Amino acid sequence: MEKIWLYGTGGHAAVIADMILSMQCFEIAGFIDDNVQKQGKIFYKQARVFAPDEFLLESDRLHIKNIIFAIGNNVVRKKLAELYRDFNFPTIIHPTAIVGKFVKIGCGTVVMPYAILETEAVVGEHGIINNNAIIGHNSVIGAYCHIGGRVVLSGGTHIGKCCLVGVGASVPPLTVIGDYCKIGAGSVVSRNVPDHSFMFGNPARPINKLLGDE
């Protein structure tokens, strides 16, 4: 069985580790974290936590090039993907997820249990499709997005890069949401959303402009 590194030691990392263990698709080589308080300890009762520099040396020694960025922050995942671009980024899809014919899912993306991706949907690299999310047919989701649990994206929706769509939000057909947007939990989007917006409510209204940098 091939080995894989997980970058991160938070709750999201534990969920992805649990998926990998239950699916038996990889053996976890170790976890990586910048926090010196966590380094050298065992995370999730599975493997040691390495410092980034130490992990690079160990990866070369053991010839392990698979890595998943198990971090919920979209911008951080983007920066890590650029930093470690010479690694392999497997796509992790839980067996309970329903993935339609002609769906395209980018490298490094994680599709959580019971998510539904309808035919011809496209999901960019290093994304998160969380539990029970529904991605409608012909929808396009940009790179580094997090689509929260129980989100409903109707057919033909277009989501820009580095967006967060919060738990239980819904988006009507053919809606366009720009880059670096945040849609608050439970919100109902009723119109197109410009870049760097924070929308919340039913119907969703702009709260303020986000400060995320490209």
Distance CA 111, CA 133 (A): 9
Out of 63, 126, 137, 196, the active site residue is 137
Helix/strand/coil (H/E/C) assignment for every residue in the chain: CCEEEEECCCHHHHHHHHHHHHHCCCEEEEEECCCCCCCCCEECCCEEEECHHHHHHHHHHHCCCEEEECCCCHHHHHHHHHHCCCCECCCEECCCCEECCCCEECCCCEECCCCEECCCCEECCCCEECCCCEECCCCEECCCCEECCCCEECCCCEECCCCEECCCCEECCCCEECCCCEECCCCECCCCECCCEEEEECCEEEEEECCCCC
- Say whether 196 is catalytic: no
Show which residues are catalytic.
Answer: 137
